[in-house]
Amino acid sequence: MFHGKDATLVKGITLNVTDLEKMTVFYDNIIGLTIRTKNETETVFEIGDSGHTITLKLLEDGRKPSIREAGLFHIAILLPTTADLADFLIHASRLNVQLGAGDHIVSEALYLNDPDGNGIEIYRDRDARNWEWNDGNVAMDTHEVNAEALVEQASNEGWNGMPADAKIGHLHLKTNDIEASKEFYLNTLGLKAVVDNFPNALFMSTKNYHHHIAINTWQSNQKREESDNSYGLANIVVQMPNAESKILTSPDGLRFEINPEIQ
């Protein structure tokens, strides 16, 4: 419905990493992604059977970007059911993974960081028929998650890696200037603002989703520098219906690959 071929959405990201083996083990064992390809310098993971990917690229002697620079806030993986989210919560807790959580009205989410400090959200959506809209803005907030109630929804089978229907639900980015970046996302990528009344943030989507891409300035006020030679977010792959394959750079210095041709 919200993540079909007629939606503009994120299909993949590339992260430059300090320790490829350590990061590969994390995304395999903790997050439960499927290894598509792996060699000495790169691991490509698929999320469920979605075709969406997270690519880890080994970068030696790279630059550690300032926390104030534009870049990744978190990559958000959408699970199909509440039971899946509960199963992941139990799985991560048993492995002593440090988790955060947030009830965002439209969704329920868990948060963690990978070994390099990249943000990850694992979430499930609530029924879209119950989302509240007012003047083009969908109601979102952050409330406490009732972990005990969530755990009660766990399946009998438990966590067995990412479900087949898991996918990239959205991408949340740090930017240096929301107004300067806004035109790129709305006019160049063709997204629509669906939450523009949240402090220092903008949430955007197609198909009336609560967001496919969000940007904020909660931590950041600088452009991204030298993405190819910096650790962290290096590339964003975007599905954009009826658009030609091209590479774009956002005003805050992030690299977007639009409809890349399959090699």
pLDDT digits (tens, 9 = 90+) for 13-65: 999 999 999 999 999 999 999 999 999 999 999 999 999 999 999 999 999 99
Q: Note the pLDDT of residue 263.
A: 43
Candidates 58, 6, 15; CA nearest to 33 is 15
Buried b (16+ CB within 10 A) or exposed e, 81-118: ebbbbbbbbbbbeeeebebebbbbbbbbbbbbebebeb
In the numeric block, the tokens 């969000």 are attached to 214
Q: Note the pLDDT of residue 261.
A: 79
Mean pLDDT of 229-253: 98
Q: What would the DSSP string read from start to end of 175-207? A: -S-HHHHHHIIIIIS--EEEE-SSTTEEEEEST
Do the Cβ atoms of 30 and 115 come closer than 8 Å? no
What band does 174 get if pLDDT is binned at 50, 70 and 90?
very high
Q: Note the pLDDT of residue 171.
A: 99
- Structural domains present in the chain: 7-257 (3.10.180.10)
For residue 131, pLDDT over 80 is answered with yes
Q: Note the pLDDT of residue 240.
A: 98
For residue 175, pLDDT over 90 is answered with yes
Q: How are strands ordered across the β-sheet holding 100-103?
A: 100-103, 107-113, 119-125, 71-79, 167-174, 213-216, 201-205, 192-195
Mean pLDDT of 236-252: 97
Q: What would the DSSP string read from start to end of 222-259? A: B----GGGBSEEEEEEEE-TT---EEEE-TTS-EEEES
Ramachandran region, residue 177 (left: φ > 0; alpha: ψ -120 to 50; beta: rest) = beta
Q: What percent of the chain has pLDDT over 70?
A: 99
Q: Could you count the other beta carbons within 10 Å of the beta carbon of residue 256?
A: 20
Q: Could you count the other beta carbons within 10 Å of the beta carbon of residue 204?
A: 23
Mean pLDDT of 137-148: 97
Q: Could you count the other beta carbons within 10 Å of the beta carbon of residue 258?
A: 18
Mean pLDDT of 132-146: 97
Q: What would the DSSP string read from start to end of 105-130? A: SSEEEEEEE-TT--EEEEEEEPPGGG
Candidates 258, 263, 209, 188; CA nearest to 12 is 258
Mean pLDDT of 149-164: 98
For residue 262, pLDDT over 80 is answered with no
pLDDT digits (tens, 9 = 90+) for 176-219: 999 999 999 999 999 999 999 999 999 999 999 999 999 999 99
Which residues face 203 on adjacent strands? 195, 214
pTM: 0.97
For residue 76, pLDDT over 50 is answered with yes
User: What 8-state DSSP symbol labels residue 29?
Assistant: I
Q: Note the pLDDT of residue 1.
A: 87
CA distance 28 to 131: 33
Candidates 101, 254, 79; CA nearest to 184 is 254
Query: Average pLDDT, whole number, for the chain?
Result: 97
